[in-house]
Amino acid sequence: MKEIWELAISGPMLPLTILLVPVALFWLLSIVGAVDHDFMGVDLDGHDGGHNHDHPVFEWIHGSLRILNAREIPVMIVLSVLIVFLWGCAMLGNVWFNPDGTGWRGGLISVAALVAAVVITRVAVSPLKPLFRLVQDDPETGPPIIGRTGTVRTAFVNEREGQVEVDHRGAPLLLHARTAEGSPPLARGTAILVINHDSETGIHIVRAL
């Protein structure tokens, strides 16, 4: 145990070990109910009604999340799994290939650990996709949702991503939603009308009310 701790706080591993702190804090606060569950979803832009998502940086971020399956699974779950695997792979890499704690070698190991962690995370979270799709989209209530009204819950809803909340049987129901092709994005808080539903993907098509 002492050896593990010493390696975890060594120069090459210390930045990755520090990354574990906010992850552990987030899940601790989640357990005690101090974190809004909306924070677990993808919300990368909440200030301008969803127009910054055309910026190349946001395009790259959304592409990265798509690779990690964060489009179907809450992003905080995916990031937590990624960071844990990144830390574990880097620990093993330093034990096997960097026993002396060399800085440059540790950096190379961290890069290789990130690549390995991305691949492992994608495989590990893939089985969770049907579960979250079932929880969020409830296939038994898909078609009757058409015609209901609600509000945009993520920073925006556009042709590629977003979530809305509609009232169903007295309880809020969170749905994966898209706008129709050629329609402008809808900002957070916009009142919407559900106009269609794709039974294969579980996606609901919405427009501004």
Centroid of chain to Cα 177 = 16
Render pLDDT for 3-27 as a digit per residue (tens, 0 to 9).
Answer: 788 878 888 888 888 989 988 888 8
125 neighbors 81 (Cβ within 8 angstroms): yes
Q: Which two tokens stand for residue 152?
A: 């945009």
Q: What are the chain's domains? A: 2-131 (no CATH), 138-208 (2.40.50.140)
Strand partners, 204: 177, 197
pLDDT at 209: 81
Q: Which amino acid is at 184?
A: P
Which DSSP state fits 159? S
| 32 contact partners, CB below 8 Å, separation of at least 6 | none
Q: What is the mean pLDDT of residues 161-190?
A: 85
In this prediction, residue 7 carries a pLDDT of: 79
CA–CA gap between residue 26 and residue 29 (Å, rounded): 5
The predicted structure's pLDDT at residue 71? 63
Report the alpha-carbon distance of residue 102 to residue 199 in Å, rounded. Answer: 54
pLDDT value of residue 42: 47
The mean predicted confidence, pLDDT, of the chain is 77
Question: How much is the average pLDDT of 112-132?
Answer: 84
Give pTM, 2 decimals: 0.56
Answer for the pair 193, 166: CB distance below 8 angstroms, yes or no: no
Query: Which residue in this structure is represented by tokens 């101090």?
Result: 34
The 3-state DSSP composition of the chain as helix, strand, coil percent (nearest 5) reads 50, 20, 30
pLDDT at 41 over 60: no
pLDDT at site 134: 60
Banded model confidence at residue 100, pLDDT cuts 50, 70, 90: confident
For residue 36, pLDDT over 60 is answered with: no
Instruction: Look at residue 122 in the predicted model and tell me its pLDDT.
Output: 85
Q: Which value, to the nearest 10 degrees, does the dihedral of the CA atoms of residues 198, 63, 182, 132 take?
A: 20
Q: Is pLDDT at 73 greater than 80 in this prediction?
A: no
Q: pLDDT tens digits for 46-68?
A: 434 444 444 455 556 566 666 77
Give the per-residue pLDDT at 63.
63
Long-range contacts of 167-173 (CB under 8 A, 24+ apart): 168/141, 173/136, 173/138, 173/141, 173/145
CA angle 190/191/196 to nearest 5° reads: 110
Mean pLDDT across 154-180: 84
